[in-house]
Amino acid sequence: QSALTQPPSASGSPGQSVTISCTGTSSDVGGYNYVSWYQQHPGKAPKLMIYEVTKRPSGVPDRFSGSKSGNTASLTVSGLQAEDEADYYCCSYGGSNNLGVFGTGTKVTVL
Amino acid sequence: QITLKESGPTLVKPTQTLTLTCTFSGFSLSASGVGVAWIRQPPGKALEWLAFIYWDDDKRYSPSLKSRLTITKDTSKNQVVLTMANMDPVDTATYYCAHSLLGMFGELSEFDYWGQGTLVTVSS
């Protein structure tokens, strides 16, 4: 059971875009359209931002978008705002015996 | 409105068994397509999925921790309980429970509601 690979950090100026990758295998990311993304501010519980690769829950700004190509999923935050500074984690369904495989996490800094 | 809250000891000794309770409201764990997961996060580290219980009482565990984990539910009390045996200092983490919806064929889709988490420290 290996964690999905994310870059440790990403950054951008206010108004710019940042894209975070999440690389897995054909047994998780590449095999299912069940990739989700979570935002976590320090000391807080994670918050669902994207589910089923591209869908946004009610209340999540449309600045957040998701995509997938092969074994790699991506989260893009457009029009960066100060409140977007947080840790982001991807998660993929990995089959009936490995339900939730999380990524290594990416710290997004708004410059 | 769905809410979840974790409870349990804040400090356990090495080799002891940890018992955590997730008390929830706003949904029924007997409703088809619903489940509750336990997820942990060591200080400064990434999230790790631990266990999952389905509405029909089916259970799944992280392959790397399967031998140490037990997840149960009490539908009448709206509670899910996780036990982890043989605790070690490396198990020091914030433990979260989370509500999940399942896909058409039982796939875990997402963790849409989370508890606030409870920090458990393992130390003698």
* Angle (CA) B17 B115 A101, round 5°: 75
Q: Give the C-alpha separation, A88 to B122, whole Å.
A: 27
The tens digit of pLDDT for each residue in B11-33 reads 999 999 999 999 999 999 998 89
**Nearest residue of B to residue A2, measured between CA atoms:** B64
B64 touches chain A (CB under 8 A): yes
- Give me the sign of the Cα torsion angle A64, A95, B115, A23: negative
Q: How far apart are CA B58 and CA B35, in angstroms?
A: 9
Among the listed residues B68, B81, B62, B51, the one whose alpha carbon sits nearest the alpha carbon of residue B15: B68
The H helix count followed by the E strand count for chain B is: 0, 11
The beta-carbon neighbor of A99 closest among B47, B60, B115 is B60
Instruction: Tell me the nearest-neighbour CA distance from B117 into chain A, angstroms.
Output: 7
Secondary structure of A4-65 as H, E, C letters: EECCCEEEECCCCCEEEEEECCCCCCCCCCCEEEEEECCCCCCEEEEECCCECCCCCCCCEE
Nearest C-alpha in A relative to B4: A45
Task: Write out pLDDT tens, residues B88-100.
Answer: 999 999 999 999 9
Question: What's the whole-number average pLDDT of chain B?
Answer: 96
In the block, residue with structure tokens 């940890």: B18
Return the sign of the alpha-carbon dihedral for residues A102, A107, A108, B1: positive
Is the pLDDT higher at A73 or at A97?
A: A73
B56 to each of B28, B79, B119, how far by Cα in Å? Answer: 11, 14, 29
pLDDT given for residue B103 in this prediction: 84
pLDDT per residue as tens digits for the range B30-49: 988 999 999 999 999 999 99
